[in-house]
């Protein structure tokens, strides 16, 4: 990537900046984090504004309904929206950042035409039904069964930790279409389905986190009929499709948040200067180290985004390096925030306190740090597999 901006890119930046300056003041107040229907309405409303202005699916290929923007334009978009304090994807996280890109990469033309436009318009929200009570890190051990019956699969089983399932229309669902057995390794026999969340037999039970909100849910599936044409990729080839989904989830899905961390860091420095904690050289050094880590993560992001574009749009294994480091830096950031806040760090209503609690989940969600380290060791460093 050429790090100097072309005139086109500068024009793109200025156009976007002007649009943001116009529309952001017209947005309604941000909803209560505990009110998922209101959060969905807010996030989808913002997505619709992006769509109407031609900024939805900016870097998606044109034949998937996107704008086919260059990696540099994509990065400019992330920088400018974050700089202006625009909303992040929110409830559209799964649809925009990994289910949609997976369908764009692996779906048939009919599937792309069916599912991608409503995601881009903010009309339909997706969730992710991968993890099960006994299949998290070891995802390939999943047991939710899908039996073929004519033109449908009949699906039974349960999923857990399904983020915002109660407000989702669709679920990227992993099922087992061939039982595990001596002749069938567990990675085979898995299939990726688009599950309509309003299908008979789907029950969603929200789970409350230590922050007091229900961020995710258990999803129970009792003989749910899913049409065969809702399958993305071939039957029993779902593990390969899953790797595509996870590469988007780890590779590019968190990039906007790196810039958000830099903004929080600046705010921490301002607060520390105002409340006298800035005089502490240990704290200053700590904030400096986090700033350096954020700068390195942003460079890694630029590299990952360019690399994904160069290799046909699907991010590579470098996403695991990013995810590993980013999730840890985010925790360091909010630990530092607690120090800057002092006694106010006990105020559960403070935004940084809520973010500190949620930062704990970042080293677990989308694959734990231990799993990312295994991937880096085996697939990047070429070290032998652990036993």
Ligand X SMILES: Cc1cc2nc3c(=O)[nH]c(=O)nc-3n(C[C@H](O)[C@H](O)[C@H](O)COP(=O)(O)OP(=O)(O)OC[C@H]3O[C@@H](n4cnc5c(N)ncnc54)[C@H](O)[C@@H]3O)c2cc1C
Output 66 or 319, the one with its CB closest to ligand X.
319
* Residues of span 337-366 touching ligand X by CB under 6 A: 361, 364-365
Work out whether 130 is an interface residue with ligand X (CB under 6 A).
yes
- Distance between CA atoms of 312 and 106, rounded to whole angstroms? 12
Report the alpha-carbon angle 211-213-218, nearest 5: 115
Please provide the size of the chain in residues. 387
Residue closest to ligand X when measured from CB atoms: 136
Q: Cβ of residue 358: shortest distance to ligand X, in angstroms?
A: 7
Q: Which two tokens stand for residue 46?
A: 């913002």
Give yes or no for a contact between 54 and 65, defined as CB atoms under 8 angstroms apart: no
- Distance between CA atoms of 48 and 28, rounded to whole angstroms? 14
Q: Cβ of residue 227: shortest distance to ligand X, in angstroms?
A: 22
Window of 31-39, 116-124, 127-135, 324-332 that interacts with ligand X by CB under 6 A: 127-135
- Distance between CA atoms of 134 and 140, rounded to whole angstroms? 10
> What's the farthest any 2 CA atoms get from each other in the chain?
71
Work out whether 128 is an interface residue with ligand X (CB under 6 A).
yes
Options 136, 196, 201, 316; binder of ligand X; rule CB under 6 A: 136
Site track 156-175 with ligand X (rule: CB under 6 A), x = hit: -----xxx------------
Q: Which two tokens stand for residue 8?
A: 């086109």
- Distance between CA atoms of 317 and 264, rounded to whole angstroms? 28
Options 111, 178, 302, 374; binder of ligand X; rule CB under 6 A: 374
Q: Cβ of residue 185: shortest distance to ligand X, in angstroms?
A: 16
Strands 170-176 and 126-129: parallel
Options 192, 216, 254, 326; binder of ligand X; rule CB under 6 A: 216
Size of the site for ligand X (CB under 6 A): 20
Work out whether 368 is an interface residue with ligand X (CB under 6 A).
yes
Site track 282-311 with ligand X (rule: CB under 6 A), x = hit: ------------------------------
Provide the 3-class DSSP secondary structure of residue 345. helix
- Distance between CA atoms of 63 and 71, rounded to whole angstroms? 17
Q: Cβ of residue 236: shortest distance to ligand X, in angstroms?
A: 20
Q: What share of the chain is helix, strand, coil (3-state, %, to 5)?
A: 55, 15, 30
Q: Cβ of residue 19: shortest distance to ligand X, in angstroms?
A: 31
- Distance between CA atoms of 127 and 98, rounded to whole angstroms? 10
Q: Which two tokens stand for residue 187?
A: 């990675």
Work out whether 199 is an interface residue with ligand X (CB under 6 A).
no
Work out whether 326 is an interface residue with ligand X (CB under 6 A).
no
Q: What residues line the site for ligand X (CB under 6 A)?
A: 127-131, 136-137, 161-163, 215-216, 361, 364-365, 367-368, 370-371, 374
């Amino acid at each position: 990537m050429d790090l100097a901006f072309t005139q086109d890119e500068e024009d793109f930046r200025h156009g976007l900046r002007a649009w943001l300056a116009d529309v952001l003041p017209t947005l309604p107040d941000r909803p209560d984090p505990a009110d998922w229907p209101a959060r969905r309405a807010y996030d989808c409303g913002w997505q619709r504004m992006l769509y109407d202005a031609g900024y939805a699916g900016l870097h998606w290929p044109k034949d998937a309904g996107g704008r086919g923007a260059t990696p540099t334009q994509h990065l400019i978009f992330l920088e400018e929206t974050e700089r202006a304090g625009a909303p992040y994807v929110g409830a559209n996280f799964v649809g925009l950042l990994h289910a949609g890109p997976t369908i764009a990469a692996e779906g048939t033309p009919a599937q792309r035409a069916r599912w991608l436009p409503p995601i881009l318009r903010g009309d339909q929200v997706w969730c992710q039904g991968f993890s099960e009570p006994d299949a998290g890190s070891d995802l390939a051990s999943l047991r939710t069964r899908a039996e073929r019956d004519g033109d449908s699969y009949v699906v039974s089983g349960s999923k857990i930790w399904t983020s915002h399932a109660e407000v989702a229309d669709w679920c990227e669902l992993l099922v087992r279409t061939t039982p595990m057995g001596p002749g069938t390794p567990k990675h085979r026999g898995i299939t990726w389905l688009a599950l309509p969340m309003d299908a008979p037999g789907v029950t969603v039970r929200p789970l409350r986190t230590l922050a007091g909100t229900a961020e995710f849910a258990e999803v129970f599936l009792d003989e749910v009929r899913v049409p065969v044409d809702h399958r993305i990729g071939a039957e029993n080839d779902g593990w390969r499709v899953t790797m595509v989904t996870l590469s988007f989830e780890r590779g590019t899905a968190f990039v906007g948040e790196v810039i958000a961390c830099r903004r929080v860091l600046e705010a921490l420095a301002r607060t520390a200067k105002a409340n006298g904690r800035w005089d502490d050289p240990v704290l200053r050094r700590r904030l400096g180290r986090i700033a350096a880590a954020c700068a390195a993560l942003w460079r890694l992001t630029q590299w990952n985004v360019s690399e994904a574009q160069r290799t046909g749009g699907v991010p590579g294994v470098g996403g695991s390096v990013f995810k590993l480091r980013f999730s840890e830096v985010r925790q360091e950031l909010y630990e530092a925030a607690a120090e800057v806040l002092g006694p106010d760090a006990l105020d559960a209503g403070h935004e940084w306190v809520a973010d500190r609690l949620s930062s704990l989940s970042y080293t677990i969600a989308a694959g734990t740090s231990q799993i990312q380290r295994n991937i880096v060791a085996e697939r990047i460093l070429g070290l032998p597999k652990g036993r």
